[in-house]
Amino acid sequence: MIARYTRPEMGRIWSEENSFQKWLDVEILAAEGLAKLGKVPKAAIGRIRKKARFDLKRIRAIEAEVKHEIIAFLSSVAEFIGDDARYLHVGMTSSDVMDTALAIQFKEASAIIEDDITNLMKALRTQARRYKWTVQIGRTHGVHAEPTTFGLKLALWYQEMARNLSRFKKAVDDICVGQISGAVGTFAQISPKVEAYVCRKAGLKPALVSNQIIQRDRHAFYFATLAIIASSLEKFAVEVRHLQRTEVQEAEEPFSAGQKGSSAMPHKRNPILSENVCGLARLMRSYAMAAMENVPLWHERDISHSSVERVIAPDATIALDFMLRRMTYVLGNLCVYPENMKRNLEKSGGTVFSEKVLLALVGKGIARDVAYRMVQRHALKVGKEGGDLKRELLEDGEIRRSLSPKEIEAIWGVKHHLTNVDFIFRRAFQ
């Protein structure tokens, strides 16, 4: 991922230096496991731990000749360790090292992402409570529907992120597995006890069955979960973008001192942060698709998945970390304009109360379809020509035969629509 979207904490996890360090950690843990079984002298482990290191330039120089990254890595490490290097990689295959190390990196990256999700949820909870009673018009198909509150919108998003957090924890649990099972996964040259030792020390679970790799359905589930989270963030961002439109102007992104919205037009305040999140969400979904393509490998393994994961593993986690933090900032500092929400709600001339009129007529014994058409006739006229629905109803003799002026007057107002807001909040934030 380009530096523009990479935070140092996440970038460090996927650095070349850290990746090789994780390989070295796995190799040393495996040697320790063998020592506990009496297969490696215990004194050698101390010497290995003291001397073990690698040289990035040397690895690449060796790889240019041998065309095998693990061999190049082990050769570089051996140059530092000396004779004791023969106790590394005993009975192991390349994927034992690479897949187990990759799982450790996923675990580290996932800890950051989980914190990000939790922080976004905190911001949503705070803002939902702040705007719990801030009335705005609800929209379906982009068209005015009935009154709701901005707090309910944010409570909805909070619950969506709660589901995302639950999914994410399951995906992390699924991907944080290791293997030290040797060629084609049969433990022919190494004891399962070594695998158990390595995984325990690394904070992983052993894969119950492997062939020569950790199976990529686990990775597909993980990346799909990241893509779902990104899609939720895009959903929030799209709403901010809509609400920031000049014709709506109910909420907008924070605009910092000194910020400029356009190179040509000084008046512009554009929703660039949310638009950026929308763009990155497209990438995230493509990464999920690539991870799914990695599932069907040949026989006990091929390495067609490797080149894909070298790109998507760092890119997806780095991008989602960036997106989560960005939306936490946007939503936590959102500029909200209740007066504009009130103004927009009143634009429809009271047609947003049409359902309540309909139900009042039905309650008087009028057939629903008949009542619907009675109300619709006036609502469409107001929508097209302007005016006020209440006045139209009061002037309709047919409707007045069923509803008195007092009953029509009682229909107006948003209080009825807020009756169960407390109930919904209790469920959302229990």
Q: Is 274 a catalytic residue?
A: no
Residue 351 per-residue DSSP state: G
Burial (0-12, 13-18, 19+ Cβ within 10 Å), 214: buried
Catalytic residue among 141, 256, 267, 299: 141
Asked if 161 contacts 430 with a C-beta cutoff of 8 angstroms, the reply is no
Helices (H), 67-149: 69-81, 94-130
SS3 140: strand
Burial 19-36 (b: 16+ CB within 10 A, else e): bbbbbbbbbbbbbbbbbe
To 10 degrees, the CA torsion angle through 386, 390, 394, 399?
100
Catalytic residue among 15, 262, 304, 404: 262
Q: CA triplet 224, 204, 210: central angle to 5 degrees?
A: 75
Burial (0-12, 13-18, 19+ Cβ within 10 Å), 256: exposed
Give the C-alpha separation, 114 to 310, whole Å.
Answer: 22
Residue among 120, 77, 122, 137 at smallest CA distance from 349: 137
Q: Which amino acid is at 327?
A: M
CA dihedral sign of residues 333, 338, 343, 345: positive
Q: Is 141 a catalytic residue?
A: yes
- Mode of pairing for the β-strands spanning 335-336 and 251-252: antiparallel
Structure tokens at 51: 């001397």
Burial 303-327 (b: 16+ CB within 10 A, else e): eebbebbeebbbbbbbbbbbbbbbb
Catalytic residue annotation: 141, 262
